[in-house]
Structure 1
Amino acid sequence: MTAPTVTAILLAGVRPIPDPLAQAAGVAAKPLVPVAGVPMIDYPARALVGHPAIARVLILTQSPRLYADNPATAWLAEHPKIVFETSGFGIAASLLSLMDRADLPYPLLMTTADHVLLDAAMLDRFIAQATGADIAVAMVERATLLARYPASRRTWLKFRDGWWSGANIFWFGSAKARPVIALWQDVEQDRKKGWKILTAFGPFALIGAALRMLTLRGGIARIGRRFGLVARLVAMDRAEACIDADKAEDVALIESILARPR
């Protein structure tokens, strides 16, 4: 068996404004919100530590004690593959700080604590297709999602090759990804607003998307060339890849999926 080589980063921070799910559940942070009776962070954390390609998991949060002191998540602090890292101000700034460390080898795979449905098959597909890229992003085309979950609502970016929504899995294959992350830092507060993100990549990207001149694959590759790196779209083939626990209706849908026979 090939030795594990990927370092996973699991985002489990607390945003400055109160999270409605955490408030409704009476917990201190969104990753502790119960989904089917289990803190949501439990699901992606177990998927990551159980995957044979992943050597270790860094949980990035402002408050590691929130998880270490909670009986339901104390296992995270005790697991030999898991290390807690205290995050700074913003995801991009924290990621850049991690990438400056000599003890953090590439490639890096990043995902979020609300990616409850993340599983080995999704990780298999993403790692296989992202390997060799300096930066890669997982996304799901709208037809893939709506074929299984027609009532699910997502944020979509419209391109010539379809309407796309993020799957909250990112790949940083080398230090060449740093300039893109630095740009992400500039637009981080607008990450849900697709047009502002596209504007940051230049007027051609914005006009091309508006006129449906660009495919998303081509656009990402073009952005990569602009930064002198290999950038890649990983189109996920399962609708569940873009269903995160962002709202109460998402949690209800996720719990119904988890309840199905496997």
Structure 2
Amino acid sequence: MHKKIISLIMVVALIIMVTACSPQQKAEPVKKTEIMISAAASLKDALTELKPKFEQGHPDITLTYSFGGSGKLAQQIEQGAPVDVFLSASKKDMDKLNDKKLLAAQTRTDFARNELVLIVPEGSTGAIDSFEKLGTAPLTHLAVGEPQSVPAGRYSQEVFNALGLSAKVKNKLVFGSDVRQVLSYVESGSAEAGIVYATDARVSKKVKVVATANPKWHKPIVYPAAVLAGSSHAEQAKEFLAYLTGPEGKATLKTYGF
């Protein structure tokens, strides 16, 4: 009897020793595919909120953003920047890439719209309360986007042309490299007024909107998106676009005023 007990104890001990010495099986980490997204600066807040939501539902994909003026981003893509998805604040910049066969077929889609607004610092008590008065208002610095590379700057120029203000405001203009820089100029008081998108003004507590541009004064502010023809991760990029244009993506964009 004692021999049986001793034998049983030895067997159990042997099993424990073998188990302890065996290498532990570790779960294989999920391999993530990085999707590079070049996006208009005005989309920064909405896309930043979307990132963790998308990645939670797509554990094999991670999103990396590059924000800036749509014109500059398009130029970088033309020069070979490794971009999977382009989100533009203007049709013109997307058309440019399309003409050069840089967009993946049948992936282009319009996903948002915006408005152009005139802003001043929150504590301003000046007489600037309309676009029409910009030519005569007592201001020395009017911040706008650089027309050649920033869609908001082009729309602003169209407004000036429509109202006959181009010559009157020419020497007052301070140019930003993207619409968020224009916003910062007004927030800091470096400019007495500025022209940005309604969505940009919405996220700042340091500025106030004094006027909204009549849509007839400028071309429609439409945001197109597309997967790039040179993308190495086209399928995953399409998944992101499907999410952006789906119910969750639209709801988030709407939260930010798009």
TM-score (norm 2): 0.25
Larger radius of gyration: 2
- Higher-RCO chain (CA-CA 8 Å, sequence separation at least 6): 2
